[in-house]
Structure 1
């Protein structure tokens, strides 16, 4: 998902229609935004032994494919049926079909019934109001002991962002963690920082952007 330029107030059914139409329109575009892996996922996951991963709001599947190529067994979920169908088809074309499972979920209503070693929520922003903290708490609870939840959010506005409001305030990783209200006896923060990097937009634009990174580890049941 990407940072919205405004907040819509539609129903979850309208949200599903919005994303379904978006991916349906893009399904024949081989250069669709999101087929590249997010660099912060690579940065974190490279140092973690491969296991089972959940890719929340997988979109075009760049993260799912990268994880599968690096030995992970991945469950990729998205609200758009077209998105998950495309991700599975791409995984099968690349010989990774045995490592990728896809499920259609409106995460405000349902969540995968499994446990994971890694849950990745990369830029989990949407034009529709969603119970984000509730969803991320569910993600934390889906971790096995020793598993990690990686939340990477926008910390700045890029030239290609939907949101060009200079007054936008981005919650810090610490604020996101507080909102999740996780028991410190069960989950611990491994990383909460706001690094900058050079990024490329969908049309090749370049800009320096800030990421807000929160990495949480489950230490017990």
Structure 2
């Protein structure tokens, strides 16, 4: 999530967010992706909300063939540039979608959804169910979301409902006997405020395998 107001439609909001800065994210892959996906056998992967492409590039560098999806054309252009610089441009395809309204076609050995939380409209339940539907037999669904505001955030910038471990599983409505829950955990990590105040933030992580 960001600390920005939410007056604009989703596409306009995120396009402005990326255009207003030369780089929005760190350029490093998400730590929980590295933790959860390092032991998976490379195949095809779908990276939902790929932003500037760090996760997709990391997966491609490990042998995955990746489809990276984002709502912002500016973010996708940057992601493609980073993939080319890393020498994996031929292993990543980029698609622009407003998730909840459109979704990539096909099935994938790994579907990764990190921090699909937004200050503007996002049909999170529909996106997560579409993500699960896109997992191939034997494949993995990896979902990571913030579990709350950072510890130093005394005045939340906007109202937000944070997902719970059991709540997301309930919203996925996965058929009995078709999935195995391999990870269901709240992880605490260091998080400093823009002013340098030390603190932490908690993330929820789910890794599920389609059997």
Q: TM-score, normalised by structure 1?
A: 0.85
Q: CA RMSD in A?
A: 2.6
Q: Does 1:92 align with 2:84?
A: yes
Q: Where do residues 125-140 of structure 1 align in structure 2 (5 Å cutoff)?
A: 125-140=117-132
Q: Where do residues 109-120 of structure 1 align in structure 2 (5 Å cutoff)?
A: 109-120=101-112
Deviation at 1:158, TM superposition (A): 2.0
Equivalent position SS for 1:140: helix
Deviation at 1:9, TM superposition (A): 7.0
In structure 2, the partner of 1:158 is 150
Q: Where do residues 200-215 of structure 1 align in structure 2 (5 Å cutoff)?
A: 206-215=198-207
In structure 2, the partner of 1:51 is 43
- Cα distance in 1 for residues equivalent to 2:103 and 2:141: 15
Cα deviation digits, residues 3-49 of structure 1 (max 9, x gap): 5666x475xxx2101111111222xx2x5324221100000001111
How many residues in Structure 1 have an aligned counterpart in Structure 2?
A: 211
Q: Where do residues 62-77 of structure 1 align in structure 2 (5 Å cutoff)?
A: 62-77=54-69
In structure 2, the partner of 1:16 is 11
- Cα distance in 1 for residues equivalent to 2:181 and 2:34: 19
- Checking the alignment, whether the CA contact within 8 Å between 1:34 and 1:61 is kept in structure 2 is no
- Cα distance in 2 for residues equivalent to 1:132 and 1:23: 21
Sort the Cα spacing of 1:25 and 1:123 in 2 relative to 1 into closer, same or farther, 3 A: same
Equivalent position SS for 1:194: strand
- Can you give the 5+ residue segments of structure 2 that lack an aligned partner in the other structure? none
Deviation at 1:207, TM superposition (A): 2.9
- Can you give the 5+ residue segments of structure 1 that lack an aligned partner in the other structure? none
- Cα distance in 1 for residues equivalent to 2:102 and 2:178: 23
